[in-house]
Amino acid sequence: MTVDHRPRKRFGQNFLRDHRIIEAILTAADLHPADAVLEIGPGQGALTERLLERVDRLQLMEIDRDLAAYWQQRATDQLQVHVGDALRLDWPALLTRPPYKLVANLPYNISSQVLFKMLAHRQLFSCFVLMFQKEVADRLRAAPATAAYGALSVLFQQAFAIRSVVQVPPSAFIPAPKVWSEVLHFTPWAQPQVVVADEVFFHRVVKAAFAQRRKTLRNCLQAAGFAPAAIDRVANETGIDAQRRGETLNLSEFAVLGQALAPYAP
Ligand code: SAM
């Protein structure tokens, strides 16, 4: 790339320079010419140039006007460029010929918001290959009763098959961040692991269960407005002990709990 660009901290600009990592990301995305890819934050093009070699349709979202201007000059039928904040751009309006693959070395300051955006729009995508701060990746992949297990683990494991692609040292970037990173691959479940009738309510229950980590399920649900009598009834009905802590419940138990609590929504 020809733009002389000093990395901007406020846009989370840590540019990839390790070809082994770039290759691992591209391999995980399993790219074919007929694929359509969305990349958030092309930056100086470490991934973008390689994506252009491999797929017929590439869409970019870039918030940095200088970098976006460079990519706009190169726009073609193959390459579409959207200038702006990926969190504010209207994904369904721009991604009109699904399915897409989302491939991105995400800026860490927006990763959790991108996660929720991808959850909301997952029907537009066949897979996601995304770079996260290692601590966020750990939370997404965590098993019940581990320190990293939380609402993020339950909500994303319910929606996606998640696997680790590669662990990434700080030295893979310029400038080097302070922490390690990890690339994860997500595939939306064709058949969800557990059936959740009302996803919005399910999210409320999961978030409530983890809102106070050291408290029992009973206390957490009460704090979220559920009546003590309703909690007792649901505990009896489901066999899920309300004295347990939220972090001990697995995905299926959360689904059962959500289903049983639905009639008692505060
Ligand atoms: N893909 C490049 C690479 O791997 O070297 C750059 C990755 S850098 C970690 C993040 C990129 O996302 C930067 O280009 C940054 O300007 C862009 N960015 C930051 N916040 C953004 C946002 N809200 N919407 C779109 N792009 C954003």
* 261 C-alpha to ligand 1 centroid (Å): 41
Say whether both 75 and 48 belong to one domain.
yes
pLDDT greater at residue 214 or residue 2: 214
Compute the distance between CA of residue 181 and CA of residue 132 in angstroms, rounded to an integer: 6
Say whether both 105 and 236 belong to one domain.
no
Q: What is the mean pLDDT of residues 215-239?
A: 95
Say whether both 184 and 86 belong to one domain.
yes
The predicted structure's pLDDT at residue 121: 97
What predicted TM-score, i.e. pTM, was given to this entire model? 0.94
Residue finishing a domain among 188, 209, 228 = 188
Residues in the chain: 266
Number of structural domains in the chain: 2
Q: Does residue 15 lie in a domain region?
A: yes
Say whether both 63 and 32 belong to one domain.
yes
Atom of ligand 1 nearest to the CA of 48: 1
Q: Does residue 194 lie in a domain region?
A: no
* 53 C-alpha to ligand 1 centroid (Å): 20
Closest residue by Cα to residue 153 from 136, 140, 144:
140
Say whether both 30 and 115 belong to one domain.
yes
Say whether both 60 and 23 belong to one domain.
yes
Say whether both 171 and 203 belong to one domain.
no
Q: CATH no. for residue 58?
A: 3.40.50.150
State how far the alpha carbon of 237 is from the alpha carbons of 40, 232, 250, in Å: 45, 9, 17
The predicted structure's pLDDT at residue 24: 98
Compute the distance between CA of residue 12 and CA of residue 39 in angstroms, rounded to an integer: 15
Mean confidence (pLDDT) of the chain:
95
Structural domain of residue 257, as residue ranges?
199-264
Say whether both 184 and 85 belong to one domain.
yes
* Residues 80 and 58 sit within 8 Å (Cβ to Cβ): yes
The pLDDT tens digits for 34-58 are 999 999 999 999 999 999 999 999 9
**If you take atom 21 of ligand 1, which residue's CA is the nearest one?**
63
Q: What is the mean pLDDT of residues 163-186?
A: 97
Say whether both 117 and 18 belong to one domain.
yes
62 is in an annotated binding site: yes
The pLDDT tens digits for 242-266 are 999 999 999 999 999 999 999 999 8
Say whether both 205 and 176 belong to one domain.
no
Residue finishing a domain among 166, 188, 210 = 188
Say whether both 56 and 107 belong to one domain.
yes
Compute the distance between CA of residue 1 and CA of residue 19 in angstroms, rounded to an integer: 16
Q: Does residue 33 lie in a domain region?
A: yes
16 is in an annotated binding site: yes
Say whether both 88 and 112 belong to one domain.
yes
| Tokens found for residue 77 | 């039928």
* 44 C-alpha to ligand 1 centroid (Å): 9
Residue finishing a domain among 123, 154, 188 = 188
* Cα dihedral 97/103/105/109 (nearest 10): 50
The pLDDT tens digits for 110-167 are 999 999 999 999 999 999 999 999 999 999 999 998 999 999 999 999 999 999 999 9
ipTM of predicted assembly, 2 dp: 0.99
